[in-house]
Structure 1
Amino acid sequence: MQRIIVSVTNDLSTDQRVEKVCSTLVKNGFNILLVGRLLKNSKPLNRAYKTKRFKLFFNNGFLFYAEYNIRLFSLLLFSKKDILLSNDLDTLLPNYLVSKLQNKKLVYDSHELFPEVPELVKRPLVKKVWTFLESNILPKLKNNYTVCDSIARYYKEKYNTNFNTIKNLPNSKTIDLGKFPFNTQGKKIIIYQGAINLGRGLELMIESMKFLNNHLLIIIGSGNLTKELQNLVELKSLQAKVKFLGRIEPRELHKLTPLASLGISFEEDLGLNYRYALPNKIFDYIQAEVPILVSNLPEMKQIIKDYKVGEILINRNPKSIAKQIESMSEKDYSIALEKARKELIWENQEQELLSIFNNLS
């Protein structure tokens, strides 16, 4: 039985992509150790494979990355393994070094264009460091996959490095309805689920709520803009129209998503990482049979064109968005959503993932 050490920099509890990859590999005869970090609010894990979370002294900035990568390098170097699976650029250096030192197979899963994240737009020195790391390692990698065709094409053009596409699709599941922890007063629910960070378009959606009287916006997730958005809601006196639920475990979230009438993904074009984004939440909305309204960006609008499960934003103006949402509420997307729900599931691409691990070069 081949042993794979899988590494990420998060606390493992909400990383659905990595959990699905590990579960698929375990079901197909691989021995998995998943490595991440332990945070103050990290919840206990119950997985079908082994996990390890580092308790770190530093949890952000340069010192975090330095401490985590040193700890990860030591663990990888002295642990039994056959294959290394690095998730994203922030775990790649120790994985690459150990793979070279010990002649081990390395697989790389790029969840995004890491040096192009919006948080680095105004930090040119930090961006330069990550770009240097990427440009010196990626051209040497042979076993790679990423979340969408646009990123795969980007890497091919920039580094002449081949990437397979393994979309971050949800597992097939029955729709099980939960209940919000407050009275929704019979209003139509607009849901956002995911990170609350720069460039998610949440300020725009909050502003749009001024023009929607029969809708309630529910924001589920956490991030460094949470407090700022809560202040915006108070400033605009929209407390009755916008609710924040914080971070929710995936199992519970899956019961809340189907309660919505509309799911939104309003990412801004703040660089290549967002331009090529294909967020998990889009597929989660579809799996819950909730129509979607998305930004006019390549990967997101392609889903709308291919599956007819919602609409593309016509105009990034609050009043225009409100009108489009009102118009969408009068349309029936149920047949298209039912079809897409059966096709866009993790199980339909498991064999593509396994073919990568069974045919490593």
Structure 2
Amino acid sequence: MRRKKIITSAFSNLYTDQRIEKVCGTLYENGYEVELIGNDWKGAENMSRPYPFSRISLISKSLKTAYFEFNWKLYRQLKEKADRNTILHANDLDALLPNYLLAKKLNIPLVFDSHEIFSEMPAIQGKMSQKLWRYLERKLVPNVKLMITASTGYAAWFKNKYGVEPQVVQNAPRKLAMDWKIPDNHPKILLYQGAINPFRGIDKAILAMKHLDDVIFKIAGDGPMKGEYENFVLKENLQHKVEFLGKLLPEDLRKVTLTADCGMSIEEKWGRELLLFFTE
């Protein structure tokens, strides 16, 4: 009996999404037929994967309309590609609705992969869009039979809120063999890597550079606050102490990480945790 085909979909341009790459790569290495669907929002850089992938072309100029356009076009693509030997794998709430509708129509398995609590993200707090995502969450999540999420805290939240019991699949890095030693940099390197979103402490860290000698703050990633923070650096005349590295492929990001003295991850206000980790 042949293994089922897995169609993974996400509102992502896929280029730097390491969690999706790890999940799809693991399934592919274990003999599953995998197909990945993303979109070209914020770019469609060249990349290669051992399994087929595609990006839905979006003409929307705003994120709000892009979500609607993506979900409509994703449903149409899934309808063409899926059959009764398919497992649908929806990454986060912003890709769940078309997967849910088609899984119900074809009576096929659906796995909802919640990377975070999407409806409570800092970027949508207090906005009309938050009400829409909460409504969608209330209508769909209680009816999802197969769900995974990234932490025990998230799993507990979903169980308390909707009575579902997600399996926890942590977003842990792959085990890689590599030479590594504590760097002896001059100046020292402080590194932030990830989405450049609000409430991540990035603006506070930028200002802190005024008070730190022999330190450079490197920011790897992209996101809605990147332009604003770049202007903030210019305004505070800190361009000699703050570097924006942009989006990096996972293998390139690992090389940058190995050069850092200190990594920063600060969740403010709406975040869940405060973590500083040091390499010395």
Q: Using structure 2 for the length normalisation, give the TM-score.
A: 0.91
In the TM superposition, residue 199 of structure 1 has moved relative to its aligned partner by 0.8
Provide the rounded CA distance (Å) in 2 between the counterparts of 1:65 and 1:34.
Answer: 18
Contact 2:91 2:112 in 1 (8 A): yes
| Structure 2 equivalent of residue 72 of structure 1 | 74
* Post-superposition offset of 1:149: 0.8
Question: For 1:238, what is the secondary structure of its paired residue?
Answer: coil
Structure richer in helix, relative to its length: 1
Residues of 2 paired with 1:129 and 1:40: CA distance?
23
Does residue 1:135 correspond to 2:138, yes or no?
A: yes
The aligned counterpart of 1:102 is 106
Q: In 1, distance between residues paired with 2:211 and 2:178?
A: 31
1:238: how far off? Answer: 1.9
Cα 1:109/1:187, change in 2 over 3 Å: same
Residue in 1 aligned with 2:208?
A: 208
1:279 aligns with: none
State the percentage of identical aligned residues: 37
Tell me the residue number matched to 1:35.
37
Q: Which has the higher strand share?
A: 2
Partner of 2:255: 255
Closer, same or farther in 2 for the Cα pair 1:45/1:59, shift >3 Å?
A: farther
Distance change >3 Å, CA 78–CA 41, structure 1 → 2 = closer
Do the aligned residues in 1 keep the contact of 2:16 with 2:247 (CA within 8 Å)?
A: no
**Shift of residue 174 of structure 1?**
3.1
Aligned partner of 1:120: which letter? I
Q: Which runs of 4+ in 1 moved over 4 A?
A: none
**CA drift at 1:10:** 0.7
Query: How far apart, in 1, do the equivalents of 2:226 and 2:40 lie?
Result: 22
Give the paired residue count.
273
Q: CA, structure 1 residues 67+215, in 2 after alignment: closer, same or farther (shift >3 Å)?
A: same
**1:192 equivalent in structure 2:** 192
- How far did 1:66 drift? 1.6
C-alpha distance in structure 2 between counterparts of 1:152 and 1:70, whole Å = 29
Given candidates 242, 265, 272, the residue that maps to 1:275 is 272
Q: Which whole-Å deviations, capped at 9, do the CAs of 1:307-327 have from their partners, x for residues lacking one? A: xx65xxxxxxxxxxxxxxxxx
Is the 1:6–1:86 Cα contact (8 Å) retained in structure 2? yes
Residues 176 and 255, structure 1, Cα contact 8 Å, conserved in 2: no
1:82-121 to 2 correspondences below 5 Å: 82-121=86-125
Change in 2 beyond 3 A, CA 1:219/1:49: same
The reply on whether 1:57 has 2:59 as its aligned counterpart is: yes
CA RMSD in angstroms comes to: 2.0
Counting only pairs closer than 5 Å after superposition, residues 171-186 of structure 1 correspond to structure 2 as 171-175=174-178, 186=186
TM-score (norm 1): 0.72
Greater shift, 107-116 or 225-234, is seen at 225-234
Encode CA deviations 1:59-101: one digit per residue, 9 max, x unaligned: 5333211211111111112223420000000110110100111
Kept in 1, the 8 Å contact 2:198–2:225? The answer is yes
1:250 Cα shift?
1.5
One-letter code aligned to 2:256: L
The separation in 2 between residues aligned to 1:39 and 1:62, in whole angstroms, is 12
Which of the numbers 165, 170, 192 marks the counterpart of 1:167?
170
Structure 2 Cα separation of the partners of residues 47 and 130 of structure 1: 31
- Secondary structure of the structure 2 residue equivalent to 1:167: coil
